[in-house]
Structure 1
Amino acid sequence: MGVSDPECDKVSGRTFVASAVRNLIRPDIVVHHSADAVPEYNNPRLFPGMYPTLYPYGIGGFEDKSRLTPLSFDRQAKYCLNVSDRGFRYHESFIFVMLNMLQRRQAHLQTYFAVRKSNFDSVARNLTSVSPDVLIRLANRLEQEHKLSNLSTDEQNALKLLRQVNTMSTRIPGSQASKIFVRNEIRNYYGYFGLPHIFFTFNPNPAHSPVFQVMYGDYSVDLSERLPRMPTGRVCATRLAHDPVAAADFFEFSFRCLFRYLLGWDFDHDRSVDGGGILGHIRAFYGTSE
């Protein structure tokens, strides 16, 4: 059981604590099949088994050790979403399952516990010796708003242990810790480059763009015309929902064109071009995407 509230304003504090206690029992999320859990790591038969229409020959799964050249999970995922027949990106659930697995892997690799040096030995011993049953009872008590004074000795020790441990997840996109990490990086830019001269929001709309229609696959849209003939608004909105990968490609294309041809930034060498842009020469910029 998990809790998701990046702004920390819709979920009570005790619910967060209860969720954290449960996560100490088994932090990994598993999908049960029959009596055993199906492994997500190093299981090349997982995706061919789940999606036989996408893998008609039963081969080509992720993390296949028989490949001569090793291929990472995220790199193969990008390849699947960019193959020419677009069967993977148009599937109703493949992209969501793959994204969920990528996020979970990132959480496994980038989340860690931080404790004070003086408490490290005792916390390490207590963390490995605490009983799952105690954590479950404690989580239920916290979630039901019971008084903390009625806790047993084991439950009090478990709660004290939780208070001594900080969970760090600065590399997980969308988490509160990652937002704090980005803010600190921006403040570091202030200290090195000085205050920024301009702040702007860049939000290109793919549904109204003829470039997106071509990226979607509609080559009847003539980009050489000043006002190319566009499909109806309903068709454009349907295409946008149907192909989020093309929408992401359109955003990346638009962002790079803006900085390259208007602001004069050379992405190959990470510096301003010799001639500069409409604002002159740029020393640095910092951008985040929602």
Structure 2
Amino acid sequence: MGVSDPESDKLTGRSFVASAIRNLLPKDVVDLQPDLVIHCSSQPVTEYNNPSFFPGLYPTLFPYGLGGFEIKSRRTALAFKKQAKYFLSVSDRAFRYHNSFIFVLLNILQRRQAHLQTYFTVGKSNFDSVARKLTTVSPILLERLAIKLEHERKLVDPTAEERNALQLLQQVNTMSARIPGSQASKIFVRNEIRNYYGYFGLPHIFFTFNPSPAHSPVFQVMFGDKTVDLSEHFPAMPCGRERALRLAQDPVAAADFFEFSFRSLFRHLMGWDFEARCATASGGILGHVRAFYGSSE
């Protein structure tokens, strides 16, 4: 089990169009039901607005059936992504040590980006007319067209309203969200880097930052090993096999180690103040840094 289809190219074009049509519907007309469903049976369980989904999926992690996602009765609304981050940060490491919980979380977040952020684009010359005509299409008609397109059914004897709606769809393009790891996200990063060139000029230095958690005593402490003494110049650490097993067991600690190492490098060597978002008064080994840009693989 893992993240699959980051480009969403295995989904049919009709599914994307149906998703974009549903996102045109007013929020008071339809609730946030899934518009793209990965079917595993004739009646799949919804993962949207379903607080019992994760407690039912992982009874060992939610032994009392409580603590699911998107509970509407909460006094303060809690986003799915923020609650997922909390589960992976609690002192009880059962969530991060589970063999599939992290992968399911990431898959759901990835699908939601593809489902709920699909939208239409239209040429500037046709924008006013297309926008005006789209507002005249009823939500019921949009829902009916979305269902037919989603199931790839042919429109037999379409009504005049359906023909007009389909003609409007021919004048727009369906765009999906910037999914991390997809080609669209890479293009977005490249464009941002080019914008930095235009504002700050060409960068003076390029380097690859690749700290190794398996060989770092700091990671062993983050993993929970209290026998490692960081005050020593060469702390005693477990054997290489044990360190590799720890890295595979706790990828969240590895991500925390990377974040800690990256911030420490820029704060103490480059002289960057993350709170003020500018260089410190004393600067770093390269002087006063005006800006930097980094992306993770």
SS in 1 for 2:120: strand
* Distance in 2 of aligned mates of 1:42 and 1:135: 23
TM-score, normalising length from structure 2? Answer: 0.76
Matched, 1:67 2:60: no
- CA 1:20/1:122 → structure 2, altered by over 3 Å: closer, same or farther? farther
TM-score, normalising length from structure 1? Answer: 0.78
Letter in 1 for 2:267: R
Matched, 1:175 2:182: yes
Residue 20 of structure 1 is matched in structure 2 by 13
SS in 2 for 1:165: strand
Residue 268 of structure 1 is matched in structure 2 by 275
* Distance in 2 of aligned mates of 1:246 and 1:107: 28
Residue 17 of structure 1, CA deviation:
9.3
Residue 10 of structure 1 is matched in structure 2 by none
Higher helix share: 1
Runs (5+) with no aligned partner, structure 1:
7-14, 139-157
Residue 288 of structure 2 is matched in structure 1 by 281
Letter in 2 for 1:285: F
Residue 28 of structure 2 is matched in structure 1 by none
2:56 maps to which of 49, 54, 68: 49
Percent identity (aligned): 63
Mapping 1:72-151, distance limit 5 Å = 72-117=79-124, 118=126, 120=130, 129=145, 132=148, 136=152
- Indicate the structure whose relative CO is greater, using CA pairs within 8 Å and at least 6 residues apart: 2
Contact 2:214/2:247 (<8 A) preserved: yes
Residues 221-272 of structure 1, C-alpha deviation per residue, up to 9 Å, x if partnerless? 1111111111111111111111100000000000000000000000010000
Mapping 1:183-222, distance limit 5 Å = 183-222=190-229
Residue 46 of structure 1, CA deviation:
0.9
Residues 130-174 of structure 1, C-alpha deviation per residue, up to 9 Å, x if partnerless? 884798499xxxxxxxxxxxxxxxxxxx9xx6796242433x211
Residue 43 of structure 2 is matched in structure 1 by 36
* Distance in 2 of aligned mates of 1:53 and 1:59: 12
Residue 9 of structure 1 is matched in structure 2 by none
Letter in 1 for 2:175: T
Contact 1:123/1:164 (<8 A) preserved: no
- CA 1:207/1:135 → structure 2, altered by over 3 Å: closer, same or farther? same
* Distance in 2 of aligned mates of 1:134 and 1:173: 25
Residue 145 of structure 1 is matched in structure 2 by none
Runs (5+) with no aligned partner, structure 2:
21-34, 155-165
* Distance in 2 of aligned mates of 1:66 and 1:111: 28
* Distance in 2 of aligned mates of 1:209 and 1:59: 38
Please provide the CA RMSD for this pair.
3.2
SS in 2 for 1:36: coil
Contact 1:206/1:247 (<8 A) preserved: yes
Contact 1:21/1:162 (<8 A) preserved: no
Residue 24 of structure 1, CA deviation:
3.8
Residues 4-32 of structure 1, C-alpha deviation per residue, up to 9 Å, x if partnerless? 476xxxxxxxx959833454456844255
* Distance in 2 of aligned mates of 1:262 and 1:17: 45
Letter in 1 for 2:231: S
